[in-house]
Amino acid sequence: MNLKELSKLLGLSPTTVSRALNGYPEVNAATRMRVTEAALKHGYSPNLLAKRLATGRTLTIGHVVPLSVHQMINPIFADFIAGAGEVYSTSGYDMLISVVPPEQEHAAYRKLATQRGVDGFIVHGPTVTDPRIALLQELGIPFLVHGRGGPSESNYSWLDINNRRGFLRATELLLDLGHRRIALLNGHETMSFAARRRQGFDTAMAERNVPVDPALLRSEEMIEPFGFEAARQMLSLDRPPTAFLVSSMMIALGVLRAAQERGLEPGRDLSIVTHDDDLSFLPNHGAIPLFTATRSSIREAGRRAAEILIEIMTHPGTGPRQELWESDLTIGLSTGPRPKET
């Protein structure tokens, strides 16, 4: 059942039927009623492909995901996607995900943009000097970056959390508790978010004139074994850290495992502060959460990112939009004053 058939059935022109269904004002109320009823009755729904070609809009938003051995598809991305997808489907948009080898990433953006496969992009995981931003500006297609990257951050739209300040406050918290030997287990510091967290850490330490020991700094893939191995190794140093500041719950779980293995009780013998993306499958709630954490829901970020991008696409010409969220600092069971004997 297509538009032509339906209009013939109704004795109307395709024009009128199309307008009636799309809510245009210049159609008689009675006619519109008749049309919508007939459409429902005969199970008519417009062919998306035709609609897209005619309007030039795809109502699709693209997410290009580079797939490499190192930068793995991670659960953080999944939760972001869930949030964004929620907004898309209520706003009538579709989500297109293109998983490509890293060396084809640029080609993928270019192809989707020039072949009119999507109306806009959300860019994930910007690096400190991210070339994708310039590419998308050159392609002239709406986009929003989750995070900030590249040399300038004023001429494009982004949504980010204040990573620097979050880790600055977290470090201060540990310093206030008397800790001096604080280990930082960070994500890859080529990533913008990790670099900013590092800055926050360094700044807080410098302000209190506490030296940073390079032996306590690691920057790797944020998975559980990283936390475990790094903590295990650092805890067997001559002067082990009394506190760990880590960039993800997965790392924190690894640190926890290493601590428990040594019989150290978190909060008493060892402090752990983590960033918590509030992932749906890794809850850190409860009466008192397990970990003291800087928290910001990645899913909520996905939702908001989608909203902003849709606004950008529907109101082109307005300047870039930027939103910076502060993260919550919630106290859990994993922090306490520096143990006396140290």
Would you say 132 and 78 are in contact if contact means Cβ atoms under 8 Å apart?
no
Asked if 31 touches DNA (CB under 7 A), the answer is yes
Find out whether 271 and 177 touch, Cβ atoms under 8 Å. Answer: yes
Instruction: List interacting residues with a second copy (CB under 8 A).
Output: 43, 45-50, 52-53, 56, 58, 60, 65, 67, 72-75, 77-79, 81-82, 84-86, 88-89, 94-100, 104, 108, 111, 114-117, 221-225, 250, 253, 256-257, 260-261, 263, 280-283, 286
Q: Which does 79 bind (CB under 5 to 8 A by kind): a second copy, DNA, none?
A: a second copy
- Read off the tokens for 214: 């390079």
Partner from a second copy, DNA, none contacting 29, C-beta within 5 to 8 A by type: DNA
Asked if 110 is part of the footprint of DNA (rule: CB under 7 A), the reply reads no
Question: Which residue is it, tokens 């297109």?
Answer: 96
Compute the least distance from the CB of residue 254 to a second copy, in Å: 9
Residue 78: contacted member of DNA, a second copy, none (CB under 5 to 8 Å, by partner type): a second copy
Choosing from 37, 41, 42, 47, the residue that interacts with DNA (CB under 7 A) is 47
Single residue of 9, 36, 38, 51 touching DNA by CB under 7 A: 51
CA nearest 177: which of 244, 107, 97, 81? 244
Are 6 and 18 in contact by the 8 Å Cβ rule? The answer is no
Site for DNA in 52-71 (CB under 7 A): 53-56
Q: How far apart are CA 83 and CA 306, in angstroms?
A: 8
Task: Give the nearer residue to DNA in terms of CB position, either 140 or 319.
Answer: 140
Query: Rounded to whole angstroms, what are the CA distances from 50 to 57, 118, 119, 225?
Result: 11, 15, 16, 50
DSSP 266: B
Taking the C-alpha atoms of residue 274 and residue 247, their distance in angstroms, rounded to an integer, is 6
Q: How far apart are CA 180 and CA 184, in angstroms?
A: 12
Our CB check for a second copy shows the closer of 215 and 282 to be 282
Q: How far is the CB of 185 from a second copy (least distance, A)?
A: 15
Going along the chain, which residue ranges are E strands? 60-66, 94-100, 120-123, 143-146, 158-161, 182-186, 217-219, 243-246, 271-276, 292-295, 322-325, 328-330
Work out which of 13, 68, 91, 129 binds DNA, going by CB under 7 A: 13
Looking at the Cβ atoms of 2 and 28, the one nearer to a second copy is 2
> Which sign does the torsion angle of CA 165, 171, 172, 177 carry?
positive
Residue 29: CB minimum distance to DNA, A: 6
**Residue selected from 46, 75, 178, 339 as contacting DNA according to rule CB under 7 A:** 46
Choices 15-23, 136-144, 212-220, 228-236 (CB under 7 A): range interacting with DNA: 15-23
Answer yes or no whether residue 18 interacts with DNA by CB under 7 A: yes
82/75 Cα distance (integer angstroms): 11
Choose the contact partner of 330 out of a second copy, DNA, none; CB within 5 to 8 A by kind: none
Contacts to DNA by CB under 7 A: 2-4, 11-16, 18-19, 21-22, 26-29, 31, 44, 46-47, 49-51, 53-56
